[in-house]
Structure 1
Amino acid sequence: MHTHGSGTLRRGPAALATAVALAAGTLVALAPAPAHAAAGATLPFTSVEAESATTTGTRIGPDTTQGTLASEASGRQAVRLNAGQRVEFTAPRAANALTVAYSVPDGQSGTLAVYVNGQRLARTLPVTSKYSYVDTPWIAGSRTHHLYDNTRALLGQDVRAGDTVALEATGVQVTVDVADFEQVAAATGKPSGAVSVTDKGADPSGQGDSTQAFREAIAAARGGTVWIPPGEFRITSSLSGVENVTVRGAGAWHSVVRGSRFIDQSASSGNVHLRDFAVIGEVTERVDSSPDNFVNGTLGPNSSVSGMWLQHLKVGLWLTGNNDNLVVEDNRILDTTADGLNLNGNARGVKVRNNFLRNQGDDALAMWSLYAPDTASSFENNTISQPNLANGIAIYGGTDITVRGNLISDTNALGSGIAISNQKFLDPFSPLAGTITVDGNTLVRTGAMNPNWSHPMGALRVDSYDSAIEAQVRISNTTITDSPYSAFEFVSGGGRGYAAKNITVDGATVRATGTVVVQAESPGAATLRNVTATGVGAAGIYNCPYPSGSGAFVLTDGGGNSGWNSTWSDCSTWPQPGQGNPDPGPDRNLALGRPATATGSQDVYTPGKAVDGDANSYWESANNAFPQALTVDLGSAQPVRRLVLKLPPQSVWQARTQTLSVQGSTDGSAYSTLVASKEYRFDPASGNTVTIPVNGTVRHLRLHVTGNTGWPAAQFSEVEAYLS
């Protein structure tokens, strides 16, 4: 299993500032790109974000800080429910089933009670932390992640569009992210001539071990169909020798296989068709040496996987060997601790389309050309949400690959929405070759701050990591919205200055990118045409190839570009989100959304909670370990005149006094004292707010806390900085 983000790219203060050759008319400008159908999969459910619903709980976020509940949530926001609190949705469609993405505190479990139009249903939704809080310390930069999980239930009654559906936390705090409303069809019947696994002794109650019954049914049905009737079936080891057979269930809500490994085989003559059942595992951690996957190895040529529900596995499909002309479509892959699907070399003519993936612990969809190139294969019209450690879609080498019409949102930590890369991880590796087509994709809130490199990853990244890019990379008709950092990144992530070249970006709409439209960090060249940008956070272009002196990155204006003609001038610093805005007014909180670090934090009460704009969330330092400090990077030196410190306003936060000093720095290294240590009283009767006059021009603000009469730790729900 490959790992991510352990590269060696570093930037020193003497990084070379390379001139940008943006010469209009170098190439003939094309007409505006034609309208395309909406990106993403056609799905059988409608999702509603919890933050848009009515609630007695607390909305959290937005936040992009790695390892926080808000940053891993869909839309970077969610709703926290204490026991007895509710979130109430208006059903967007007729439904008889509900899937909810949620998180509970580590080590806890409970239920969500369900109310329809005020009436409590007999059915509840179980919630647990069992499959969450995954640690991968061998992946450099990764923190505890995979904070969410999905729970589902057939409601036992029909819900009409417009009905109210409320979820109430029972016995445990639950953070609700999103609810999927679905009308599930009745179970289908047994196909004529099929061999039922129950005929071979399988136990539909899930109590007995049905592994041998599945093996016997597959052997008996070769050339025909194995039938998995409604029920739950437990298997305890992998199936092999699966070829020339269809394995079919009554529907993914009705026929459920419980087991962490389904098929594990290195060879097959093919013609295997898996459809219409669920495989739900018990994988609670990521062990790369274990084949805890739905399919590990090969199904053989001319096979298909469709209508499946795959959950709580390490990987949905880890595919090696001959899988020529495989079709993977109309599946749901949820809560994997590593990839959703990986074409691990030698994939020829594989089509992965119209799938839904949520909450992957590595790349959601990947092609990795290890041992042999993936060739003439495609990822098309998939919807990907919340990969919490790596990329939405990653192409690591390969020949004539297509990534088209996908919708990707909310990447986190070590990746981009789409990565086109020559990062090899292992040898022998086949670099990018032929034409790599990246067309009609929509990226929403993708890209992240890479903790290994201490710099941002763009929404769409082209990376000459281990070798120069010789393929023709054709990126067209792209929509990038709300990227936390840059829209397009061209980089040599291994830090050796290989050229990222032969790149064309033709037709893109960029809205509200946090820093820049183009982030160029390698030698090479790209032509951009018909790229329009609005709401650019810092500047149009950051062009600073690394290492210094490795060569220029040449940007050629192919015509039709607008909204991003400015250039970031200082290659010794990274642009920060919003840094290019007009001079802030006196009422603008300079600390809002800025990077925050601390000497320690307790559980989920991370530093970013103190600058997220939500007075109900808070940072809490390590307990019983004074002194503690919280530092906020304002992005550039600012003449700060006032700090406002807050604790949550609720009366349960009883009055307390914190002893602290205020320090400042322009370079993040040498700090001076702006305000000497003093006691400050936080009282809910006056809003639990303290105002501290300050006089200093600083980029980095540090609160040094030595005591707290209300709790043995430093605590702030908001740290605000103002010019007056």
Structure 2
Amino acid sequence: MPAVATAVALAAGLLVAVAPAAHAAAGASLPFTSVEAETATTTGTRIGPDYTQGTLASEASGRQAVRLASGQRVEFTAPRAANAVNVSYSVPDGQTGTLNVYVNGVKLARTLAVTSKYSYVDTGWIAGAKQHHFFDNARLLLGQNVQAGDKVAFESTGTQVTVDVADFEQVASAATQPAGSVSVTSKGADPSGGGDSTQAFRDAIAAAQGGTVWIPPGDYRLTSSLSGVQNVTLLGAGSWYSVVHTSRFIDQSSSSGNVHINNFAVIGEVTERVDSSPDNFVNGSLGANSSVSGMWIQHLKCGFWLTGNNDNLVVENNRILDTTADGLNLNGTAHGVQVRNNFLRNQGDDSLAMWSLYSPDTNSSFTSNTISQPNLANGIAVYGGTDISVKNNLISDTNALGSGIAISNQKFADPFSPLSGTITVDGNTLVRTGAVNPNWNHPMGALRVDSYDSAINATVNITNTTITDSPYSAFEFVSGGGQGYPVRNVNVTGATVRNTGTVVVQAEAQGAATFRNVTASGVGAAGVYNCPYPSNSGSFALTDGGGNSGWSSTWSNCSSWPQPGSGNPDPDPSRNLAKGRPATATGSQDVYTPGKAVDGDANSYWESANNAFPQSLTVDLGSAYAARRVVLKLPPSSAWSARTQTVTVQGSTDGSSYSTIVGSTGYRFDPATGNAVTVALPSGTSLRYLRLAVTANSGWPAAQFSEVEAYLTS
């Protein structure tokens, strides 16, 4: 199955190709196929979905994952022939462990090491940031081939491990040394990783000017960065074979250019974000007419922090994983840079950014990249610049302080070059992007145009956009610095918006935009929120260019931000709000943990500690909802005799202060009628946290629920 993707097919848990008619597919053409853990078979507990900043599920791909206690497994069905796998996972802070690996039930001799070493990053100097960066990636050559349909399982051997997604890949054999190249081992490099190979790399680069430095299969340790790199090709045997271990690979302010870096891995040891340290794969300049391709870049602060002359640089076909800050930041002065067909996951700032400091980035582009799980900022951000394009990218699961795509005049520092010329945003697919900004106390849209520090006077053309499952709004126009600068000259043409949580257009600045052929379905609250800030700064004009449908209504109360699903009718009133949500309890008996009450399986159940009433179960619904009905279930098996449980229904919007919604009542559970009871909630009930306090059970000395369900309908 090809891995080019325009949408995440959650039903199958795969990144698959779904090309819109007459338009290029969004995202990178990848050498692997990803499978979400929540779609796999497991003896563990599914967590999420959740969009709450600082929670584990909110940073997961698909906002869901599978938590494994010791001895529990998650078993994937291989989607393709593969001999290697990369797993995105999380373990509790301060812990390490291993995952046993099974192929078709047979345990492999190889295990997959997991650690919290590179996770749990704090950036207290960034306003609104909470501890983040919970996930990490670990890869393994299986030592054998698996075929599509084979079963590959991962089993926790001790520490709790939350598995998010597995990438299955058929890795080709290691390449061989090209004729005429200079091998780093010929200059004394140690492929065992024991010795310091820094000087050997420097000597090989000096000897190979105008030619190629060969990095054979092995692990090479560099203790300081390389500089003076110019007019040379650095070539490895493949990113799974040739591995350089260093937290600072190239650090140089200038280069004559013609540098080509290909087909190896650079894996660092960066565990925190220190903005003053050049802990990057490339820091500074590669010079004109350079390229970087086929690289695996991991555990660094930034993949690329590019300053100086990088004209006509091409960055393509790379994987950039687990950086504590940006994946790539084109930091001013660059012309004609192309960043295309890369895969980025788990960045601690913008995954891809252009920042026009000192002079504008011009005629540069981000094209056909796949970006997943930036956990602090945006998927793609363009801060100033002239004639920039952002095309055919697939971006999913942004968190906290970011949108899927941000087109912005936020300058951060001077001298800054605001947006000018034509900014082209075309053919992009955004899935579950946008988040609540804790500094603004309301959301950022999936695609944001922001006159943060100055008016937007460039022409911004946004075309052929697909926005799916945005938790809040689809398109946002805002002056994020609070100064009310206008957003002008915006054209939105040809967009499909599906299941947006609040509104299609979130207009919070003066200015104007024209919309053509923008269709929406499953709108959570209203079509338009048009409330410029500050309120006296002017109005935002929405021009209907024709062909629009599904979003004609306007949110009428500018003093109240709409909550997801607050419109009438709700996009999915039959949805069980509690299914898959995080659940906690005052106590549990053995394996009958709280998550069993929200896993969608009525045969599994939560049971509290025995002989210890009162007990309670709490479910975090993720947002405040006007819930009207709660359904409580026990396993439907006739082996469960009829019983009465005495339950008080409580609710909270903040998780700390609870009020009683339905007072203490005895509810009879009878297998003859499905072992289920329905509790009606009063009209006007609003709760995010649903708590069930149980004081008695006539059939067992503990509280018991196999499913707790919550609905918006009475």
State if a TM-score over 0.5 links the two structures.
yes
Moved more, 314-323 or 543-552: 543-552
Aligned CA distance change for structure 1 residues 613 and 477 (closer, same or farther; 3 Å): same
Hey, what's the Cα distance between the residues in 1 that align with 2:108 and 2:382?
Answer: 45
**Matches for 1:135-174 after TM superposition, within 5 Å:** 135-174=122-161
Letter in structure 2 aligned against 1:107: G
Q: Report SS of the residue matched to 2:505.
A: strand
Q: Report SS of the residue matched to 2:506.
A: strand
- What is aligned with 2:403? 416
**Matches for 1:274-293 after TM superposition, within 5 Å:** 274-293=261-280
What is the CA distance between 1:663 and its match in structure 2?
A: 7.0
The question of 1:201 aligning with 2:166 is answered no
Aligned CA distance change for structure 1 residues 634 and 40 (closer, same or farther; 3 Å): closer
What is the CA distance between 1:495 and its match in structure 2?
A: 1.1
- What is aligned with 1:439? 426
Q: How many residues align?
A: 667
- Contact persistence 1:664–1:673 (CA under 8 A): no
2:446 counterpart (449, 459, 466):
459
- Contact persistence 1:63–1:612 (CA under 8 A): no
Hey, what's the Cα distance between the residues in 1 that align with 2:223 and 2:276?
Answer: 18
The question of 1:223 aligning with 2:215 is answered no
The question of 1:470 aligning with 2:429 is answered no
Q: Report SS of the residue matched to 2:684.
A: strand
1:325 counterpart (312, 317, 321):
312
Letter in structure 2 aligned against 1:412: N
Moved more, 260-269 or 688-697: 688-697
Which runs of 5 or more residues in structure 2 are unaligned? 1-19, 585-593, 609-616, 637-644, 697-704
Hey, what's the Cα distance between the residues in 1 that align with 2:675 and 2:86?
Answer: 38
- Contact persistence 2:47–2:580 (CA under 8 A): no
- Contact persistence 1:347–1:375 (CA under 8 A): yes
Q: Report SS of the residue matched to 1:99.
A: strand
The question of 1:76 aligning with 2:63 is answered yes
- What is aligned with 1:244? 231
Q: Report SS of the residue matched to 2:304.
A: strand
Q: Report SS of the residue matched to 2:297.
A: strand
The question of 1:134 aligning with 2:103 is answered no
- Contact persistence 2:626–2:712 (CA under 8 A): no
What is the CA distance between 1:520 and its match in structure 2?
A: 0.7
Aligned CA distance change for structure 1 residues 171 and 586 (closer, same or farther; 3 Å): closer
The question of 1:375 aligning with 2:366 is answered no
- What is aligned with 1:256? 243
What is the CA distance between 1:405 and its match in structure 2?
A: 0.9
Hey, what's the Cα distance between the residues in 2 that align with 1:482 and 1:83?
Answer: 34
- What is aligned with 1:11? none
Letter in structure 1 aligned against 2:135: Y
1:575 counterpart (553, 556, 562):
562
Q: Report SS of the residue matched to 1:215.
A: helix
2:480 counterpart (489, 493, 502):
493
- What is aligned with 2:539? 552
Which string of whole-angstrom CA distances, capped at 9 and with x for unpartnered residues, describes residues 356-378 of structure 1? Answer: 10111110000001111111100
Which string of whole-angstrom CA distances, capped at 9 and with x for unpartnered residues, describes residues 662-707 of structure 1? Answer: 5789x9999987678x8999x9x9x999998865734357789999
Q: Report SS of the residue matched to 2:453.
A: coil
Letter in structure 2 aligned against 1:492: S
Q: Report SS of the residue matched to 2:185.
A: helix
2:254 counterpart (252, 267, 273):
267
1:188 counterpart (155, 164, 175):
175
Aligned CA distance change for structure 1 residues 119 and 612 (closer, same or farther; 3 Å): closer
- What is aligned with 2:505? 518
Which string of whole-angstrom CA distances, capped at 9 and with x for unpartnered residues, describes residues 616-642 of structure 1? Answer: 999x9xxxxxxx99998975767x6x6
Q: Report SS of the residue matched to 1:697.
A: coil
- What is aligned with 1:119? 106
What is the CA distance between 1:346 and its match in structure 2?
A: 0.5
Hey, what's the Cα distance between the residues in 2 that align with 1:94 and 1:588?
Answer: 36
What is the CA distance between 1:658 and its match in structure 2?
A: 12
Q: Report SS of the residue matched to 1:366.
A: strand
Runs of 4+ residues over 2 Å off in structure 1? 581-597, 607-618, 628-638, 642-649, 657-665, 667-676, 678-681, 687-709, 715-724
- What is aligned with 2:492? 505
- What is aligned with 2:93? 106
Aligned CA distance change for structure 1 residues 510 and 697 (closer, same or farther; 3 Å): closer
Which string of whole-angstrom CA distances, capped at 9 and with x for unpartnered residues, describes residues 96-131 of structure 1? Answer: 111111111111111111111221112111111111
**Matches for 1:526-537 after TM superposition, within 5 Å:** 526-537=513-524
- Contact persistence 2:50–2:581 (CA under 8 A): no
Q: Report SS of the residue matched to 1:480.
A: strand
- Contact persistence 2:650–2:693 (CA under 8 A): no
What is the CA distance between 1:582 and its match in structure 2?
A: 2.3
Letter in structure 2 aligned against 1:244: N
Q: Report SS of the residue matched to 2:558.
A: coil
- What is aligned with 1:303? 290
2:77 counterpart (82, 90, 96):
90
What is the CA distance between 1:185 and its match in structure 2?
A: 1.1
Q: Report SS of the residue matched to 1:564.
A: coil
Hey, what's the Cα distance between the residues in 1 that align with 2:595 and 2:490?
Answer: 36
Letter in structure 2 aligned against 1:481: T
- Contact persistence 1:590–1:634 (CA under 8 A): no
- Contact persistence 1:307–1:329 (CA under 8 A): yes
Letter in structure 1 aligned against 2:53: Q
What is the CA distance between 1:437 and its match in structure 2?
A: 0.5
Taking structure 1 as the reference length, the TM-score comes to 0.83
Hey, what's the Cα distance between the residues in 1 that align with 2:675 and 2:259?
Answer: 64
Hey, what's the Cα distance between the residues in 2 that align with 1:51 and 1:148?
Answer: 15
Hey, what's the Cα distance between the residues in 2 that align with 1:60 and 1:594?
Answer: 6
Which string of whole-angstrom CA distances, capped at 9 and with x for unpartnered residues, describes residues 162-189 of structure 1? Answer: 2221111122221111111111111111
- Contact persistence 1:609–1:617 (CA under 8 A): yes
Hey, what's the Cα distance between the residues in 2 that align with 1:193 and 1:630?
Answer: 65
Aligned CA distance change for structure 1 residues 629 and 550 (closer, same or farther; 3 Å): farther
Q: Report SS of the residue matched to 2:202.
A: helix
Moved more, 211-220 or 302-311: 211-220
**Matches for 1:388-407 after TM superposition, within 5 Å:** 388-407=375-394
Hey, what's the Cα distance between the residues in 1 that align with 2:572 and 2:349?
Answer: 41
What is the CA distance between 1:554 and its match in structure 2?
A: 0.4
Which string of whole-angstrom CA distances, capped at 9 and with x for unpartnered residues, describes residues 325-382 of structure 1? Answer: 0000110000001000000001111000011101111100000011111111000011
Superposed CA RMSD: 4.0
What is the CA distance between 1:591 and its match in structure 2?
A: 7.4
The question of 1:364 aligning with 2:322 is answered no
Letter in structure 1 aligned against 2:87: V
Letter in structure 2 aligned against 1:417: G
What is the CA distance between 1:443 and its match in structure 2?
A: 0.8
Letter in structure 2 aligned against 1:439: D
Identity of matched residues, %: 75
Taking structure 2 as the reference length, the TM-score comes to 0.84
